[in-house]
Structure 1
């Protein structure tokens, strides 16, 4: 059953998303060479708690942490690991969910440790293509379109135009009031005009994971905990970007925006956010 959200619920999820976006903005200036991934976990968890919310990744399918932290060829669902440090030039993906008074949000972002001076042209291209692919998918998240329109826009740009591989096995999803809601599943590949139709009130994530080489992934296990996570099957680098967004009569509305100027056309208006009890 698809759980359609009211305008008030969407506004509440945007408030949750603002906290999550604040975490990512904080990470831009916090991640540094030699930083332990468990320190990233602790800083993120504290930021979320200090803003009156909780890290809702904890407890999902037995997961123990506020963050998923995936490095270089790690695609998704990797955990913070005590003693595992990040270094200049690493491509690090941080994914998390926030629960603010029952309103959920979900967003992942990619970072090059050390910034531009420690990046490479290939990393820059992979990140740029992945981020643009997410926005091309968002542009297709219009009421009346189908999920295949989102998937095809992403796949065509990633694979046909840029010759990278878009991961098939991990997908976007409905969200709220729980982290993962039934329907519609959002595949990052597909056929135009196919799949479930998008209707106002749906809140979904679009979260392409793009590998520099093959789209295929392999499973690894964290020895200490037995937790399974995913890497690119050929060992190439992987990037990810993710936003939570609402389908509305006025187009897709990003609820986890980090950049109000860049995302201006996708944002809720002050009137759409005006619920005094939130």
Structure 2
């Protein structure tokens, strides 16, 4: 049985596998979907010393998955737009949180932060020295000169999109404005460095090198993450590191780029009372911008901003 119709047994088995449904769940035959993709990955030589690894198949999204994440992103961006319209002196952060929840739910979604591991509100609102995970409250009133991060994640039909924006309340100090601007530029440089068939460390280096060049520190205890079919997936996205290291970036991966940049030192502390609020240890200002991005065949596509 070494040859059937001119084909070796090995060739027949390979042929049958290529005609099976693709592992990505697209419903297409493997040969018409991810066969060439897998072949390209198998040909790449990895440097274990640099921690270079293949991405697990479970985090590669098919066309349907991507469209669903995009739909969640549309609602998420709408919620961020609504939050932007409410940022002004005298507004309490609970009012913003309530509006975000109502907006997302009115469009058939769910505010993913609500009850996530016990988090009590629908979004995170972090002011000045608060790095992230600030809990909205009627007692927290925005005032002139504040810099504010609003971080929202939306679940829609089982898919997630995650983004945050910085806002300046009225007139802010030159130092605060510069931190907000440079942090956004860090994120943009990180996204520009996210290229298919390159490595995760390229994002880290682009963000971190730019922050350090401007005299800022990068929070390393927290970072970005895979997102889409769940709130938090592989890989962990550091915003400081070495280019050419870490996980291979391939088409179909969806992740967040969300540098947290500090005016002072990078050390952070978690509030012992609520076990959520993360602050700079030296009480100096911090800023964060975040977008959900898709790795495509040619570069990246922003799915939520």
Q: TM-score band, normalised by the shorter chain?
A: 0.7 to 0.9
Paired with 1:24 and 1:228, the residues of 2 have a C-alpha distance of 21
- Structure with greater proportional helix content: 2
Q: 1:112-132 CA deviation, whole Å, 9 max, x = no partner?
A: 112xxx122111111110001
RCO higher in structure (CA 8 A, sep ≥6): 1
1:165 partnered with 2:222: no
TM-score relative to the length of structure 2:
0.79
Q: Is residue 80–residue 152 contact of structure 2 (8 Å, CA) maintained in 1?
A: no
Q: Which has the larger radius of gyration?
A: 2
Question: For structure 1, which runs of at least 5 residues remain unmatched after alignment?
Answer: 258-278
Q: 1:131-173 CA deviation, whole Å, 9 max, x = no partner?
A: 01101000111111111110000011001x2011111110100
1:13 partnered with 2:105: no
Q: Which residue of 2 aligns with 1:235?
A: 283
Q: Is residue 83–residue 150 contact of structure 2 (8 Å, CA) maintained in 1?
A: no
Please state whether the residue corresponding to 1:163 is helix, strand or coil: coil
1:119 partnered with 2:172: yes
Paired with 1:250 and 1:146, the residues of 2 have a C-alpha distance of 14
Paired with 2:82 and 2:96, the residues of 1 have a C-alpha distance of 11
Q: Is residue 119–residue 276 contact of structure 2 (8 Å, CA) maintained in 1?
A: no
Q: Cα RMSD between the aligned structures?
A: 1.2
Question: For structure 2, which runs of at least 5 residues remain unmatched after alignment?
Answer: 1-55
Q: Which residue of 2 aligns with 1:67?
A: 123
Moved more, 80-89 or 98-107: 80-89
How far 1:209 sits from its partner (Å)? 0.5
Matches within 5 A, 1:22-171: 22-114=78-170, 118-159=171-212, 161-171=213-223
Please state whether the residue corresponding to 1:145 is helix, strand or coil: coil
Paired with 2:243 and 2:85, the residues of 1 have a C-alpha distance of 40
Paired with 1:24 and 1:78, the residues of 2 have a C-alpha distance of 16
TM-score relative to the length of structure 1:
0.86
